[in-house]
A and B are shown apart, each in its own frame.
Chain A
Amino acid sequence: MQVVACIKHVPDATADRRFTPERTVDRSVDGLLSELDEYAVEQALRLKDRAPAPDDVVVAVVSMGPARAVEAIRKALQMGADRGVHVIDDALAGSDALATSLVLAAAARWAAGGEVPDLVVCGMASTDAGMGVVPAMLAERLGLPQVTLASLVEVRDGEIRARRDGDHAREVIGATLPAVLSVTDQSGEARYPSFKAIVAAKKKPVDVVSLADLDVDATLVGAAASWSVVDDVAPRPPRSAGVVVRDVDGAGVDALVGFLTSNRFI
Chain B
Amino acid sequence: MPEVLVLVDHLDGVVRRSTLELLTIARRLGEPSAVYASPDPLPDETVRLLGEHGARAVYVVQDETVEQFSVAPLAEALEQLVRSTTPTVVLIGSTPEGKEVAARLAVRTDSGLLTDAVGVDVVDGAAVTTHSAFGGGYEVRARVTRGTPVITVKPNTVEPVAEPAHPEVRPVTTTFSDAARSARVVARQPRERSARPELTEASVVVSGGRGTGGDFAPVEALADALGAAVGASKAAVDSGWAPHSFQVGQTGKTVSPQLYVAAGISGAIQHRAGMQTSRAIVAVNRDPDAPIFELADLGVVGDLHTVLPAVTEEIRRRER
Contacts and interface: CB of A to CB of B under 8 A. Distances in A.
A complexed with B: yes
Interface of A: 13-14, 17-19, 23, 36, 96-98, 101, 124-125, 127-137, 139-141, 143-149, 151, 161, 164-176, 179, 184-186, 226-236, 238-239, 241-247, 250, 252-253, 255-257, 259-260, 263, 265-266
B188 A169 contact: yes
B138 A228 contact: no
Contacts of B250: 127, 130
Interface stretch (B21-29, B46-54, B94-102, B162-170): B94-102
Nearest to B189: A170
Interface residues of B, number: 90
Nearest to A19: B138
A174 B295 CA distance: 43
Interface of B: 9, 11, 70-72, 75, 95-97, 99-104, 106-108, 110-116, 128, 132-147, 179, 182-191, 204, 225-226, 234, 244-245, 250-251, 258-259, 269-270, 273, 276, 280-282, 284, 288, 293-303, 306-307, 310-311, 314-315, 318
A147 B183 contact: yes
A139 B314 contact: no
A253 B245 contact: no
A161 B186 contact: yes
A173 B184 contact: yes
Nearest to B71: A146
5 contacts: A127-B250, A137-B104, A244-B296, A245-B300, A247-B300
B201 to A, nearest CB: 12
Contacts of A124: 251
A236 B41 CA distance: 45
Given A147-B70, A171-B187, A242 B296 contact: yes
A146 B295 contact: no
B314 A253 contact: yes
Nearest to A151: B244
Given A19-B138, A133-B103, A246-B302, A140 B108 contact: yes
Given A137-B103, A227-B144, A173 B115 contact: no
A131 B115 contact: yes
Contacts of A146: 70-72, 100, 104, 182-183
A125 B96 CA distance: 10
Contact of A241 (B99, B258, B294): B294
Contact of B132 (A151, A236, A259, A265): A236
Contacts of B276: 239
